[in-house]
Chain A
Amino acid sequence: MKIFSESHKTVFVVDHCPYMAESCRQHVEFDMLVKNRTQGIIPLAPISKSLWTCSVESSMEYCRIMYDIFPFKKLVNFIVSDSGAHVLNSWTQEDQNLQELMAALAAVGPPNPRADPECCSILHGLVAAVETLCKITEYQHEARTLLMENAERVGNRGRIICITNAKSDSHVRMLEDCVQETIHEHNKLAANSDHLMQIQKCELVLIHTYAVGEDSLVSDRPKKELSPVLTSEVHSVRAGRHLATKLNILVQQHFDLASTTITNIPMKEEQHANTSANYDVELLHHKDAHVDFLKSGDTHIGGSSREGSFKETITLKWCTPRTNNIELHYCTGAYRISPVDVNSRPSSCLTNFLLNGRSVLLEQPRKSGSKVISHMLSSHGGEIFLHVLSSSRSILEDPPSISEGCGGRVTDYRITDFGEFMRENRLTPFLDPRYKIDGSLEIPLERAKDQLEKHTRYWPMIISQTTIFNMQAVVPLASVIVKESLTEEDVLNCQKTIYNLVDMERKNDPLPISTVGTRGKGPKRDEQYRIMWNELETLVRAHINNSEKHQRVLECLMACRSKPPEEEERKKRGRKREDKEDKSEKAVKDYEQEKSWQDSERLKGILERGKEELAEAEIIKDSPDSPEPPNKKPLVEMDETPPIEKSKGPVSLLSLWSNRINTANSRKHQEFAGRLNSVNNRAELYQHLKEENGMETTENGKASRQ
């Protein structure tokens, strides 16, 4: 259905003349007495609706279904006609809901049976309907603005549904002529106007309604072209439920709807909560949800609808959901639904079940008896959709696994890290417009792309390509440096991270340098630190143009690292003292706390290392389509070789052997804390004494020792 088809604009013209106040002569029992209280009480006399009530509630039902299935772009204008035309709403989207219409109808009230019938006519309403069809809707306006000079290509078509009580066939012809004439006149007016549009096509649906038991004075007539612009059809319908049924049929025709009946819905009985019976619920939706049935011809139509509607309904069987598993179904279409009988208990049970977030798969009974899941009912944000699931054979059968393709043999992808990256780059709606500094509109999606660009400036894909991303100690810096702008606190954290790394280097802490592809034990410790500093520099340099604060982080990094180690040490010590002088006591304390935390983290790391190494053998075998390393940093060899064995020159067989034995042994016991923390294999005793005496002493102690 194209957006500017006849269904874009629907005008209801409902007769409000004195005759419409008459009873439809269909009784409604409203006083249903409960069994045990009926003794001696006569129920109140049944009442009956007026022709007006029947017309209004049937047209409201038409609108209800239309708004449920097409909440946008399908508009209704409601006009009531008596001695004049009362236009109850406008084409604007805000006016398009049942509450607005109901309130406006209540204000009009029922027709006054004592009004002068001579003054009243449906013609007032029909003229107003043509007038309103010439008025531009916001969607038409938008499309015209978009097309600029081709604005005339935006269509203006519409439909007038007129519910009245006509006197005869010639009366009907008179009404048609009037509409024809009015269109002609208004099109002339619209031709000379910027805010009116000429009517290109108008469908007039005249519904003559009369009390049950009376003879119709008007005959039915199928759609007929009265002029190139106007087609007209006449329906002669008894009031009451007949009128409602007719409008239900019309809404299906006008909006290309189809019906699906969900069968076998298990429901607790109202009276006996422990028993359950199976119910059926009929839903309306766009007919494209049946496209597969229509094309394949394998329609399994479950008899005609109970309402006796003109259209048949397709029956689908409820499949009780077993799990709340979140799955991505291959869905080829999703269509909004509207229950035919919205307030019935089975309908509201089904809709409430769905609105509470459950999805239901629907099974299509096939002639062959085989079962095929063809549809799914699911709600999204309070709207229920019928999803069409693909049930035919996939052309992508037996595709090669990703592990067999390019990059498929690589086993140390940073899967967990990239998962973290994806969570940080999740999207969220920004409904209020935001503006850039230059006043132009900021597009949130462009911001998302910018962020991805920043976050990926330096992003090694595999664990063995990186050192810094395998180090917990670098996280505080790596997580903030990618930001567009940094706070003072961020800068401070980055600096702290760098000092911490300097400290690690001074203590000669091992680094998680990869040994993949290298022989022996990999690079030496100072070489490892050089690699680490280089990598960190690459990361920080990638972001120095973000802001002046990023620049400051780089400056700090460059000041702290230096190529010759001795010089480095001196510089660092000097810098540290300087730093300390202007830092408050609190900052010192913070640093202390962080340091001790880091230490305990490191101990934890050591304890876990053994486990990791055991797991390593299995990880390597793991194929990359399920590469979920049990720990963030598994595939790295921690260089634990004591410096004494780090002899220069070629490695002797003895040292190779003892290395191997030592590594094997070290897995079997927990290393002494002293040896782990040792510098040049010398551990300092009674450290706690110095720590108790304060930072300065520790620092001096270490400095003097070196």
Chain B
Amino acid sequence: MDDYDKTCLESALVGVCNIVQQEWGGAIPCQVVLVTDGCLGIGRGSLRHSLATHSQRGESNRFPLPFPFPSKLYIMCMANLEELQSTDSLDCLERLIDLNNGEGQIFTIDGPLCLKNVQSMFGKLIDLAYTPFHAVLKCGHLTADVQVFPRPEPFVVDEEIDPIPKVINTDLEIVGFIDIADISSPPVLSRHLVLPIALNKEGDEVGTGITDDNEDENSANQIAGKIPNFCVLLHGSLKVEGMVAIVQLGPEWHGMLYSQADSKKKSNLMMSLFEPGPEPLPWLGKMAQLGPISDAKENPYGEDDNKSPFPLQPKNKRSYAQNVTVWIKPSGLQTDVQKILRNARKLPEKTQTFYKELNRLRKAALAFGFLDLLKGVADMLERECTLLPDTAHPDAAFQLTHAAQQLKLASTGTSEYAGYEHNITPLHTDFSGSSTERM
């Protein structure tokens, strides 16, 4: 970001925009604090000018708001409300918040401009934007007071019916456990450190147990470090077992707790939030339908822990898993015809595959109304029949003639022979008995 000797809020915001994106990408929420005296600059580059030309921007000089990342814009005015209202400054600053999709707030000084009042203004910002999120982690009767960092943001479900922001519970209740292999790198909204904290009787935080320079705190932290904490136990076991704990964050909202290693030595308890909803991960199914293994007739993980009830199989297979027929490109059609031909030349050994491929082609041709293809393939099989070498098995000729005849019948399109569910079956010949045995 270059320095300028005049107020130019737009360049400042552009600079912020670039820095944040380079450093953090577009997914990490960022709080942008703009400290200003409430003056908007003059002439070109002034906020008034920026806003006036806002509607005439192209791709190249896009206005930096809304920020292309989840953000809150806090504007700290070193001026009191009356001063700002005397000009249109406040209106312009409010426009900025509006342009950031309403994400943010303006702070002004109560009373005269003095150190105390400025401190109190920043105090308000701290209370609003930087209060730690305290919660209680529960697993049945085992509990621990924790701080979740960064603060989980409320989530607005992209849903036209009821777009109420969802906020996570301060009771984080573990509902069960799943192997890492089964949860399988699920998509998450955000991830957070779960830090155990020590609370005194009034519920104030005494310390995180993290060693500090301050001596008093040091001793308090040392005591906290020596009191067994559920988080540490949970973390240790999750790490050793390679598992995650499923945690309920609210109605129809879940997340997972797991051990995250920062380096060889350091590791931590982390929590990731799934997207709210009854079924955040298709391979686990509906969250409400997950129950304890002891309720199952037999252990779904097997007696030797050698199997797993996950992933759930969907009812219908996807196109790439069910051998669909697509003839949009000529090569697709040619490959299918070649497959039939290849098997035709290996009759009677390949009788089953031959008919399987033949029926697949027949079905698709009927569905696409491509009856000419059936005629063409029938002609081709008849030609193959005439080309059979003398050494060929006598059954081959019978099967080819039979298949060609059946395709011709289907190509008439009359319902009797062109039924979709109908399959051409191998002809029973005096020789076919032995050939079926071979299969």
**Which chain A residues have a beta carbon within 8 Å of chain B's beta carbons?**
2-4, 28-32, 37, 41, 44, 47-50, 52-53, 56-58, 60-61, 64, 67-68, 71, 97-98, 102-103, 105-111, 143, 147, 150, 153-155, 241, 244, 291-292, 295-296, 326-334, 336, 338-339, 341-344, 347-348, 351, 355, 359, 376, 378, 380-384, 387-388, 390-393, 395-396, 398-410, 413-416, 418-419, 421-431, 443-445, 447-449, 451-457, 459, 461-462, 465, 483, 623-628
Contacts and interface: CB of A to CB of B under 8 A. Distances in A.
A58 B328 contact: yes
B215 to A, nearest CB: 17
Interface string B13-46: 0000000010111111000000000000000000
Nearest to B258: A328
Interface in B201-255: 207-211, 222, 224-246, 248
A57, A71, A627 interface centre (most CB from chain B within 10 Å): A57
Given A44-B376, A328-B258, A406-B196, A444 B333 contact: no
Contacts of B246: 427
B424 interface: no
B56 interface: no
B311 interface: yes
B367 A355 contact: no
Interface of B: 21, 23-28, 68-69, 139-142, 144, 149-150, 158-161, 173-181, 183-189, 191, 193, 195-198, 207-211, 222, 224-246, 248, 258-260, 262, 265-270, 272, 282-296, 300-301, 305, 309-314, 316-321, 324-335, 337-338, 363-364, 366-373, 376-377, 379-380, 383, 387, 413, 418, 420-421
B289 A410 contact: no
A244 B328 contact: yes
Contacts of B314: 71, 381-383
Nearest to B224: A406
B171 to A, nearest CB: 12
Contacts of B293: 424-428
Given A408-B209, A427-B175, A459-B142, A447 B240 contact: no
6 contacts: A30-B373, A241-B328, A383-B282, A406-B197, A407-B228, A444-B292
Given A3-B159, A387-B187, A71 B291 contact: no
A413 B268 contact: no
Given A143-B161, A380-B184, A405 B24 contact: no
Nearest to A484: B294
Given A328-B183, A419-B237, A429-B312, 14 more contacts: A3-B159, A31-B380, A98-B319, A244-B328, A343-B332, A393-B25, A404-B211, A407-B196, A427-B292, A445-B287, A449-B140, A449-B175, A624-B232, A625-B267
Given A102-B363, A106-B363, A452-B174, A328 B244 contact: yes
Given A329-B185, A396-B193, A429 B309 contact: yes
Contacts of B379: 44
Contacts of A628: 236, 240
A393 B326 contact: no
Given A381-B314, A398-B262, A429 B142 contact: no
Contacts of A241: 328-329
Nearest to B28: A395
Contact of B26 (A295, A338, A405): A295
Contacts of B266: 399-401, 625
A449 B138 CA distance: 10
B245 A422 contact: yes
Given A339-B320, A392-B27, A456 B196 contact: no
B184 A419 contact: no
B149, B177, B231 interface centre (most CB from chain A within 10 Å): B177
